[in-house]
A and B are shown apart, each in its own frame.
Chain A
């Protein structure tokens, strides 16, 4: 007895074979080249993620020109604070050398970001000043040199 294969079944098998092959061929061309190079992701994405331009130059870049400030800073409590904490992103200034490309913050509020009183600040983490009482009306840098805060200006 000959095995009977219903014609609709063979036709469907053909249709599915075409569909799956088409999918696989399309897939072959659509999958990015570096996909799966290191894991289930586009390997080239690692390079993409390393590409963006930096905005913060890092304090070594600052010290290459501003040796004097480095020396000044080293003598006082701000020695551990990097330049760009206060001066903002410096890469543009490093490249251009223009003083307009770097921030020179002033004002009690700016210093207050670190030094204003707040119960959440640990007593020994930072020196806290009551801005509501301490020399009202004066700017901090009138008396304190920001690079050497305990050397009072005369």
Chain B
């Protein structure tokens, strides 16, 4: 026995029932849990920003740029967990040059590029172009040139041109909403299209992923808004929180309903795989599904948000409640990703047994690596907020 296989022998000894011999090692670990979590945050944050822009929700104005920059920071990192889990990461470029048209994963590369290049970057660029030109004129030295390069050398800030920035930005936003839906629905499709895995294979998967994405993105923006205001020593506008909270409440209801329907359908149809899935959710997934995802991530936030709709508590208490709710929801959505990705690999495709999974701390597929990819976007966001501060933007009259 080579020490290299030590952990596999341990899992083999702990396997329950019968699993195919090749199933002992889990193929997708914590990095693939982090990947849909991050893309979900992107899509959710963007959709919240679009609400303000397309549906003219004025109250959300203070969170608009923050939401966009948050989306960008996470999107820049979104593919990294994927690439770092490859066993041949140096060949990752092949996905772009010879994409297999029938593979969900291959087309994701293009969906991602479309969303990054055509939607997010462009929208932010149109938003900031006027300000960047002004900043480039004000600053000296390196920063002058940084802003100049960022404007792609278009220094025209005549009212007519600036008006076009707004017009084009609006068009991009309108295109962006379906794009954001597609981006995250597509991540759901990567799992939902695997017919070999009954825990994944449901046509509802893309939709469930989408709504949980919106839930997590909205919570994140709420959280980021509170943290940024706190750091900048600015007053947190509780009306903004109320408005976001209302959206969060409605989307959370939808998300909860959809996931509930999915489970009811499963239980009622009780197909071939039902017995093993019943054992899975009542056993190995009990904590992460019923406690973390259900109770902590959905039921408690739902009740809290419902209360906040009807009772107007003291402002300080409301703020604290929103703060806690947003964190709980994020934990809940993370658990949902865990339940899908890890849960789907714990039972054997023979439907007769379970393997087990233990996350390591170090190594390419360990907790530290996953934590790194989750923390990095926050660093990027801090940098972007420094480079493109929303609060220093040039005011434009409507």
* Chain A residues at the B interface, C-beta cutoff of 8 Å: 4, 6-9, 11-12, 15-16, 19, 23, 26-27, 30-31, 35, 40
Contacts and interface: CB of A to CB of B under 8 A. Distances in A.
Nearest to A14: B152
Nearest to B165: A8
B98 A31 contact: yes
Contacts of B165: 6, 8
Contacts of B154: 7-8, 11
A100 B352 CA distance: 44
B153 A8 contact: no
Contacts of B125: 12
B338 to A, nearest CB: 34
B134 interface: no
Contacts of B129: 8
Interface in B113-152: 117, 122, 125-126, 129, 152
A7 B163 CA distance: 12
Contacts of B56: none
- Main DSSP-derived SS at the B contact region: helix
B164 interface: yes
B168 interface: yes
B396 to A, nearest CB: 15
A12 B122 contact: yes
Contacts of A8: 126, 129, 152, 154, 156, 161, 164-165, 168
Interface of B: 93, 96-98, 100-101, 117, 122, 125-126, 129, 152-154, 156, 160-161, 164-165, 168
5 contacts: A4-B160, A7-B156, A8-B152, A26-B97, A35-B98
Given A7-B156, A8-B126, A31 B164 contact: no
**5 shortest interchain CB distances as A-B pairs:** A6-B164, A27-B97, A8-B154, A30-B97, A11-B154
Contacts of A11: 152-154
Contact of B161 (A6, A19, A30): A6
A40 B100 contact: yes
A31 B97 contact: yes
A19 B96 CA distance: 14
A40 B98 contact: yes
B329 to A, nearest CB: 37
A40 B152 CA distance: 39
A27 to B, nearest CB: 5
A15 B156 CA distance: 17
B150 to A, nearest CB: 12
A106 to B, nearest CB: 26
A12 B129 CA distance: 12
A56 to B, nearest CB: 22
A12 B169 CA distance: 13
Contacts of B97: 26-27, 30-31
B90 to A, nearest CB: 12
A23 B95 CA distance: 13
Contact of B168 (A9, A31, A40): A9
B161 A7 contact: yes
B161 A15 contact: no
B98 A9 contact: no
Nearest to B164: A6
Nearest to A32: B98
A26 B96 CA distance: 11
A7 B154 CA distance: 7
Contacts of B93: 30
